[in-house]
Amino acid sequence: MTNMSHMRHAEAHIYDCIGVGFGPSNMALAIALGEVGALDNCLFLEAQDDILWHPGMLLDGADIQHNPLRDLVTPRNPASPYGFLAYLKAQGRLFDYLNLSAPYPPRTEYAGYVNWVGRQFLDYVSLNTRVVAMTYTSDMSGTPLVAVLLDDGRRLLARSVSFAPGRSNYIPAQFESALGDDIVHLSGYRFARDRWLGRLDMPRVAVVGGSQSAIEILLDLAGRARLTGISRGFGFKQKDLSAFTEQIYYPSFVDMFFDAGEGSQHKITRELWRSNYGAADPDVIEALNFKLYEQRVRNGDSIEIVHNCEIAGVEKRGDAYAMSVTDRLSGAPRTLEVDGIVLATGFRNFGNAENQEPYHPLLDGLATRFETRADGGIAIARDYRVATLPGAATAPVFINGLCETTHGFGDAGSFSLLSVRSEQIARALVDHIAEAGAPTVPQPEELTNV
């Protein structure tokens, strides 16, 4: 499925903004730009063939983990027709939802909300369109542009880019060369699950990680597979969900965090780490504990939890996989034979740590002009544009939803602040377009890389 109605002839048109990705972050930006009449000359490029939100983790019984009114627009514009309540009204489910005793709606419903909003902007979206690279360029008059290269060889030009492809998957080094149909990141879990259950009776599956997603996957497969949950720490930890800790999702926290300086930012992040990482909500922890207790009552053994261990490696063994693990306390080795492995290991932020990356791989063609931080990540301004080296005349690239290192936990792939962020990016983008003026339309031979 592809909608190409808004894509002009490559290199015959210059867009005010090209959005890389059309998930929630750029969807919220499209809403904000539409409100001020600045959307008509924008194009969003989405690699998937439909408007989908975390399709690999849409599990029965799983809910979202944020207040549903922290949606694409409501916190900054409660009267918007694109809010979650407007979606419920349009679906004829508003009173049913108001009668729901659960604190949060099902994840499948929120995915439906994202799809419902996204489809209203399809005139500005090219689906099934994969970006493979970007470079800085300019026209003959020197107007800075960004060239966006697509996998089919086309090259599009824009005066600015809103970069929102989502965070890169974090794949531990032991598994990088083994990824495939049966060793998958959590983002592809549901599709792998269906393959395993389609060909095997009670497949043996290892779930690596101590996060919310790891527990959700264990609960989803319970009774349908023989499971081993593996993590480095001792036991599954509960998120810090204190009302005071949750103030990290206030706009004022972003200002404080951004102004704190790099060293202080790292200290704050370490202090608040359990609010979002390596931990899970109380409801899923309690559900798993109940499941394990019920298994013990029945003398069952289909779920095993292995904590305090390091994974030394994995190798193919016939139609299965052998995982070598070592107890961190005793040093005792052990080999687990499984049919499939799910890496509930999260995503990469910007930086130079083992589970980080200096910048997203799609930014590689622009990176020589980027300023960097002491921690190895790219420097990003308060309005979310990448900071470039002095003297570099470059079109602005806004990092939309990947700025946790510089802007705090509200930029950790969460809905919590994306409506506010989108307004700030929209304002900066509109100001830039007004200052730059309309560039000339270059012919292909007039383009020069800089």
Per-residue pLDDT tens digits for 237-290: 999 999 999 999 999 999 999 999 999 999 999 999 889 888 999 999 999 999
The pLDDT of residue 416 is: 92
> Domains in the chain: how many in total?
2
The pLDDT of residue 3 is: 52
Residues 179 and 317 in one domain: yes
Residues 136 and 200 in one domain: no
Residues 339 and 355 in one domain: no
pLDDT tens, the chain, 450 aa long:
445 445 655 557 999 999 999 999 999 999 999 999 999 999 999 999 999 999 999 999 999 999 999 999 999 999 999 999 999 999 999 999 999 998 899 999 999 999 999 999 999 999 999 999 999 999 878 889 999 999 999 999 999 999 999 999 999 999 999 999 999 999 999 999 999 999 999 999 999 999 999 999 999 999 999 999 999 998 899 999 999 999 999 999 999 999 999 999 999 999 998 898 889 999 999 999 999 999 999 999 999 999 999 999 999 999 999 999 999 999 999 999 999 999 999 999 888 888 889 999 999 999 999 999 998 899 999 999 999 999 878 999 999 999 999 999 998 888 999 999 999 999 999 999 998 776 544 433 333 333
Residue 337 lies in a domain: yes
Residues 285 and 383 in one domain: no
C-alpha distances in Å from residue 423, one per residue of 88, 315, 412, 418: 24, 48, 18, 9
Residues 144 and 188 in one domain: no
- SS3 state at 45: strand
Residues 395 and 290 in one domain: no
Residues 157 and 56 in one domain: yes
Nearest to 125 by CA among 14, 12, 6, 10: 6
DSSP string for residues in 251-294: HHHHHHHHHT-HHHHHHHHHHTGGGTSS-B-HHHHHHHHHHHHH
The count of C-alpha atoms lying within 13 angstroms of the C-alpha of 427, restricted to the half-sphere facing its C-beta, is 9
Residues 389 and 370 in one domain: yes
Exposed (0-12), middle (13-18) or buried (19+): which is 302, by Cβ within 10 Å? middle
For the beta carbon of residue 36, count every other beta carbon within 10 angstroms: 12
C-alpha distances in Å from residue 163, one per residue of 147, 361, 434: 13, 12, 20
- Answer with the one of 291, 322, 343 that is the final residue of a domain: 343
Residues 106 and 185 in one domain: no
Nearest to 311 by CA among 323, 319, 301, 303: 323
Residue 372 lies in a domain: yes
- SS3 state at 27: helix
Residue 387 lies in a domain: yes
Residue 383 lies in a domain: yes
Strands (DSSP E) contained in 318-386 are 320-327, 333-338, 340-343, 349-350, 356-357
Exposed (0-12), middle (13-18) or buried (19+): which is 173, by Cβ within 10 Å? exposed
Residues 164 and 185 in one domain: no
- Which secondary structure element, helix H or strand E, spans residue 426, and what is its range? helix 418-436
The pLDDT of residue 6 is: 54
> Are the beta carbons of 7 and 124 closer than 8 angstroms?
no
- Answer with the one of 293, 323, 343 that is the final residue of a domain: 343
Residues 204 and 83 in one domain: no
Question: Is the alpha carbon torsion for 270, 272, 277, 282 positive or negative?
Answer: positive
- Answer with the one of 311, 343, 375 that is the final residue of a domain: 343
Residue 416 lies in a domain: yes
> Are the beta carbons of 440 and 159 closer than 8 angstroms?
no
The pLDDT of residue 10 is: 55
The pLDDT of residue 90 is: 98
Residue 253 lies in a domain: no
Give the CATH number, domain containing residue 431: 3.50.50.60
| Residue 395: domain span | 14-168+348-449
Residue 248 lies in a domain: no
Residues 329 and 415 in one domain: no
Nearest to 42 by CA among 53, 30, 31, 32: 30
